[in-house]
Amino acid sequence: MLQEMVDSLQLPKLLKFNDGSLVTSAEDWQKRRKEILDILCEEEYGLRPPKPFKVTAMLNSINEIAYAGKIIEQHLILSADMGNKIFSFPVNIFVPKFVKKPMMIVYIAFRPDLPDRYLPIEEITDEGFAIAIFCYNDVAADREDHFIGGLAGLLKKKGDRTSNDTGKLMMWAWAASRVVDYLETRNDIDQKNIAVMGHSRLGKTALIAAAYDERFAFSFSNDSGCSGDAITREKEGERVEQITNSFPFWFCPKYRKYARHEDIMPFDQHFLLAAIAPRFVSGGAAVEDIWADPNKQYLSYVAADEVYKLLGKEGFVHPDRLPQVGDIFNDGTIGFHMRYGKHFHSRYDWQRYMEFMKKHRIGK
Ligand code: GTR
């Protein structure tokens, strides 16, 4: 049933090179993955900013007895050396003291508050996870500022944005990789189990971060929907037209041309998920989040599964039907859950992602 649904969407093929030849081995996939990452830069998110020469950290303050003495809380400023310029942004790290080398979640946050309504820090660290948090607005403002501030200002070229110029989702995703540059220097966390996570626009960002940076062993995208984990073809709710009208600055200018012409896109969102293979990816949906379209989110994971299978992974383990409230599919390399309620990053979602990571911890 599901396969027929996926087939009827006539999605661009994951396992076919741009020249039409077939992708039949893991080796082929390495090349195909590069093509896919290039297509997504070129057509949707814009070019990836260059890797900095060096990332350094400055510790602003530390509290060794945070949350009843259970947690070490550190406030840092990371600085990325971009050659002729330096880009700096704050990162806050919470490490539980009662576990040796905890798994680490890089969380891309909406707000600077610690904790906030989407981010129950104490519950997360009580589960034995360390968490590194940065606020996306500290990287590039989430509004039409004509790309003058933050990383956007630093990358800005003369004149109007055109073609494949970098959008802000890609900038936020780039910053998540800078956090990993820094985390790699620490020996108090589990380097093999670093995840990236975000909700909604930042769920889209988390997927981009993982697709382009193989150091993320896990990625968690909560309610990310349009231009994130949901297939765009025949999607309910938000589509390319609405998203590029409201948030043109999230994308490269070229993406807009697919408004009402989704059928000619040389990609769809299963490309983004497949670029994460063979690593772990898990998505959350909410039954009332029609704007994101839970069914099209789910079908995207179903469609990405063939790449995991080609790479010898278990992929997506799920029944042959659309998702229902209360479903939790976490046996395979791809996970998915659908909860009751609306668009929100809830405690329930956090529990599912942490459960998934504990279950699949690498090297346990
Ligand atoms: C909406 C946008 C969605 C989603 C959401 C959010 O306005 O249309 O794509 O990203 O914002 O980030 O909360």
Cβ 129 vs Cβ 105: under 8 Å: yes
Task: Say what the pLDDT of residue 156 is.
Answer: 87
Please confirm whether the linkage preceding 115 is cis (ω < 30° from 0).
yes
Task: Say what the pLDDT of residue 304 is.
Answer: 98
Mutate to test the pocket of ligand 1, among 168, 201, 249 (most ligand atoms within 8 A of CB): 201
Task: Say what the pLDDT of residue 157 is.
Answer: 84
Give the nearest ligand 1 atom to 238 CA: 8
**Mean pLDDT within 26-37:** 98
Q: Is the CB of 206 under 6 A from ligand 1?
A: no
pLDDT over 90 at 102, yes or no: yes
- CA-nearest residue, atom 8 of ligand 1: 243
Cβ 17 vs Cβ 36: under 8 Å: no
Name residues whose C-beta falls within 8 Å of residue 99's C-beta, 6 or more positions apart in sequence: 128
Global model pTM greater than 0.95: yes
pLDDT over 90 at 44, yes or no: yes
| Reported confidence tier of residue 159, pLDDT bands at 50, 70, 90 | confident
Question: CA 301, CA 283: separation in Å to the nearest integer?
Answer: 8
- Per-residue CA distances from 349 to 216, 335, 339 (Å): 19, 12, 8
pLDDT over 90 at 364, yes or no: no
| Mean pLDDT estimate for the chain | 98
Query: What percent of the chain has pLDDT above 90?
Result: 98
Question: CA 56, CA 193: separation in Å to the nearest integer?
Answer: 22
**Direct distance between the N- and C-terminal alpha carbons of the chain, in angstroms, rounded to an integer:** 36
Lowest mean pLDDT among 158-162, 192-196, 219-223, 245-249: 158-162
Longest dimension (CA), the chain: 60
- CA-nearest residue, atom 13 of ligand 1: 200
How many residues are there in the chain?
364
Task: Say what the pLDDT of residue 84 is.
Answer: 86
pLDDT over 90 at 23, yes or no: yes
| Reported confidence tier of residue 257, pLDDT bands at 50, 70, 90 | very high
Give the nearest ligand 1 atom to 199 CA: 12
| Reported confidence tier of residue 107, pLDDT bands at 50, 70, 90 | very high
Task: Say what the pLDDT of residue 88 is.
Answer: 98
